[in-house]
Amino acid sequence: MGLTVNDISKIYHLDLVDLIEEAHRVHRVSFKHNEIQASSLVSIKTGGCSENCTYCSQSAHHQTSVERHSLLSQDEVVAAARRCKEEGSTRLCMGAAWSRVRDGDDFEHVLKLISAVQSEGLEVCCSLGMLSLSQAVRLKEAGLHYYNHNIDTSEDYYPKVVQTRSYQDRLETIGNVREAGLRLCTGGILGLGESDEDRIKLIYQLASFVPQPESVTINTLVPIPGTPLENSTPFDALDVVRVAATLRITNPKSMIRLSAGRLGMSSEAQFLCFYVGANSIFLGDKLLTSPNPSSQSDHSMLKRGGFKLSESSIS
């Protein structure tokens, strides 16, 4: 029998020291405690998304400084793949500002990009919005390893964050990803104005997937001028530690990635997140359109903390 919301609440509300130590113990059962997997993220199509996600700089509903660009060429993506490999990443994630995948020339181009990136010796992940089962199957056949589709927050709080697509829409896409045999990358965003109860329910949903996601992302809000959340209160780094620790205990075999928002965290706060079980990051000074620490500073931080980058685990 799986964990209940009440079970997760008890874990989440443990004294922080006890929570940290338990999460570290669980982490060492399934992972090498000093290894961090690194990915890189490139926006292959930027801006103009029809969704109204309140946090997103790429939504057509918001007036932001993001410049729109159409799909990158294969040469541009291959060049990005080679750069990320040189920096130490084992996976390239390609994101497109689409509400959903549409059959046609653009989708055919993405399938070619997947094959091209895989030929560079990298794991391949895509985040393209909602997709059908037949599209998920074609992505798998093209060589895609992971599909990212975040659920953002709890089902209860979700309507305050997005109104143009439902929580069930997201779960349906995740179901299609799984049925097609793809590995799943999903997670949420902290700092949207949600309560602790919302965070607990988000963790409950992530723990309830069968099988559990191979990769779970922890994003913290990067307030973007022109979005409804531009004046949001800065997050507390210890809240991120608490969420990461609870995720590690409830998703013991998932890779847990610190994603957007790391630029606002000290090295010490990130070290605590790694200690409790976060074991993946994005390298590169930009995540789609959000700022990220430079690869040089990340390599320095990891070295000082006694961490090393892991090698690819997908053949």
Q: Which residues are catalytic?
A: 49, 53, 56, 93, 125, 185, 257
- Dihedrals phi, psi of 54, to nearest 5 degrees: -65, -20
The encoded tokens of residue 70 equal: 């159409």
- Dihedrals phi, psi of 179, to nearest 5 degrees: -65, -30
- Dihedrals phi, psi of 8, to nearest 5 degrees: -70, -35
Name the 3-class secondary structure at 91: strand
- C-alpha angle 188-190-196 in degrees, rounded to nearest 5: 105
Burial of 250 (0-12, 13-18, 19+ CB in 10 A): buried
Q: Could you tell me which residues are beta bridge partners of residue 146?
A: 125, 183
* CA-closest candidate to residue 86, choices 34, 38, 145, 124: 38
**Separation of alpha carbons 231 and 127, rounded Å:** 27
Q: Could you tell me which residues are beta bridge partners of residue 290?
A: 287
